Amino acid sequence: MPEFLQFAFMRHAFAATTVIALMGALVGYFVVLRRQAFASHALSNIGFAGAAGASLIGADPMLGLLAFVIGAALVMALAGREMGERDISVGMILMFSLGLGALFINLYSANANAAIGILFGSVFGIDADQIRWIIVVSLVLLGALAAIFRPLRFASLNPEAARARGIPVRAIDTLFLLLVGAAAAVAVPVIGSLLSFAIFIGPAAAAQAWCPRVGAGLVLTAGLALTQSLGGLVLSYYANLPASSCIGALSFGCYALSRLTRRLA
């Protein structure tokens, strides 16, 4: 066993990161395919306000996070459908939530460290109970994604034809946003709400630049996400740097490389 796995906190971090990286990246593949990166980032940030609000009233921050993210996903699904309008309504919902988050933090001045943990992740603080929770939710989300895979793929690539074929495109859109919201919520302890792009967008965007097929692209996305996330943990352990900084840097490096090689190709 490598030296860093002798510690329980490292084993927990590895287990949680493995599950979150796989689940987050596979959900993220469709986020990138559907050009909903901004909505996914916003949902992840909105969770911060929910967690801060839950702390304020003495509830579990995870529940507050989930409640806010799912509420925001529903509002986004009902709001603007047009591409340009969609970005504006998502941004306004994000802004309003961050304002609430600032208010909650201001009222709950006792512990600013908790807020830092939500914003930037606290992967080395995850305990066995949280891991069980993360695994169960991730499996449910992956199951849901697999269940709607074919209608989601058609509705993402050609929504008008899908609607004409009788596929409930609006319901699929809403379901997918809820899925993204729940995935973002469960990933917060690992990567933090500000750095969700590292897992949700980076690997999928790099994979789509390199691989133009859905099946192989999903496999490559999962592989990249695992390599970057676990590599980030190991790097963080040896270099004594924050884990999310290392994962984020690797994700950025990989994405930059994918753009560069596509440009040269």
Partner 1 sequence: MPNVADNTTVPAVEARDIAAGKGSDPAFSALSFRIEPGSFTALVGPNGAGKTTLFESILGLIAPHSGELRVLGDKPCRMRRQTAYVPQAAGIAHDDALIGREFVCAACNAHRLGVALPRARRRAREAVNAALDTVGARDLAERRLSTLSGGQRQRLLIAQALVEQPRLILLDEPLSQLDPAARDWIVTVARRLTERGIAVIFSTHDINPVLGACDRVLYLAQGRGRIGSVDEIICERTLSELYATPMRVIRDSGRRFVFEGGQSRALAEAG
Binding site for partner 1 (CB under 8 A): 32-35, 146-151, 153-158, 160-167, 208-209, 212-214, 217
CB of 126 to partner 1, least distance (A): 30
CB of 167 to partner 1, least distance (A): 6
Q: Which residues contact 47 (CB under 8 A, 6 or more apart)?
A: 65, 66, 68, 69, 118, 184, 185, 188, 193
Q: Give φ, ψ of 193 to 5 degrees.
A: -70, -25
Indicate the residue among 63 and 147 with the shorter CB distance to partner 1.
147
Indicate the residue among 3 and 160 with the shorter CB distance to partner 1.
160
Indicate the residue among 132 and 213 with the shorter CB distance to partner 1.
213
CB of 189 to partner 1, least distance (A): 29
Q: 21-53 in b/e burial notation, b at 16+ Cβ within 10 A?
A: bbbbbbbbbbbbbbebbebbbbbbbbbbbbbbb
Alpha-carbon gap, residue 216 to 29, rounded angstroms: 11
CB of 27 to partner 1, least distance (A): 15
Indicate the residue among 52 and 162 with the shorter CB distance to partner 1.
162
Alpha-carbon gap, residue 199 to 218, rounded angstroms: 13
Indicate the residue among 26 and 250 with the shorter CB distance to partner 1.
26
CB of 44 to partner 1, least distance (A): 21
Alpha-carbon gap, residue 111 to 113, rounded angstroms: 5
